[in-house]
Structures are given as structure tokens and as C-alpha cells.
Amino acid sequence: MRRNSNFTLIEVVVALAILAGSVSALITLMMSSQKRLAAAWERERRWVMIQQAAEYCMLQDDDPADPPPEVFYYPGYHAKYTVDTSPFMDDNDLNDENALYQLDCRTVELIRDSNGQTVEQLKIDCPHYDED
């Protein structure tokens, strides 16, 4: 007696279902990794922008102005600076070598123009120098 070596219809349907499930899982995995990659690229881009704004801020005087478009040209974003000065210390503390110096906290904000939302913020402490 001769055996038939062909596949049955049920075996073919089961194999196609397994193949379809594998392909859909692979596509889902690829789409989620692409979204994560795009989000990571956008975060990196925003940090590059805020670093450039911070460098411009640190090169300015005690009261820096927002960077002009020639220096900070990123369509859809702008940088904003604020400077908060710590309270003054007594003159006796300033004469002491071990006394802490007064610091300014320069805050650099990266703001999206479309909705006015702050997307990144960087705070930099730097010494305060009096004009005296």
C-alpha cells in the first residue's frame, strides 16, 4: 500500500496562521523600535539646542539677553534666560577665605513656539561678580 505524502488542508492553514502571527509580531516590534528611535533622536536634538543656548548664556555678562536668531536658529523653538541671584552675605563672611561665594542661578529654557511650552530646562550655577 502506497502512502500519500501531500499536506492536508488543515496543516497548510495552521502553518499559514503561525506564519501570519510571526510576521505581525515582527512588524509590531519594528514599529515600536522606530518610535523609540525617533523619540530618542528628538531628545538628543533638544539637548543640543539647549547646550548651544547655555554656551551663549555663559559667554554673556551678568544679565544675558536671549540669543539672537543669527546665533540660535532652530525653527519652532526659542531660548529664554533668567538669572536668580542668591541673597547677599555679610561683609564679614566675604573677608573669610573659607566663606562660600555668592552664586547666580542661570536658567536656560527651551520653549516650543507652537504652544509656548517649555520642553527642556537647564540650570547653571556660576559665581556672582560685583561691579565694585
For 28-53, how does the pLDDT look when each residue is reduced to its tens digit (9 = 90+)? 999 999 999 999 999 999 999 999 88
Q: Give yes or no for a contact between 66 and 80, defined as CB atoms under 8 angstroms apart.
A: yes
For 51-70, how does the pLDDT look when each residue is reduced to its tens digit (9 = 90+)? 988 888 888 766 677 888 88
95 band by pLDDT with thresholds 50, 70 and 90: low
Distances (CA, A) of 2 to 5, 7, 59: 9, 15, 90
Phi and psi of 75, rounded to 5°?
-55, 135
DSSP label at residue 62 = S
Q: List beta partners, residue 109.
A: 80, 121
For 75-90, how does the pLDDT look when each residue is reduced to its tens digit (9 = 90+)? 889 898 888 876 555 5
Strands in the chain per DSSP E: 77-85, 103-112, 118-127
Distances (CA, A) of 58 to 49, 86, 116: 14, 17, 24
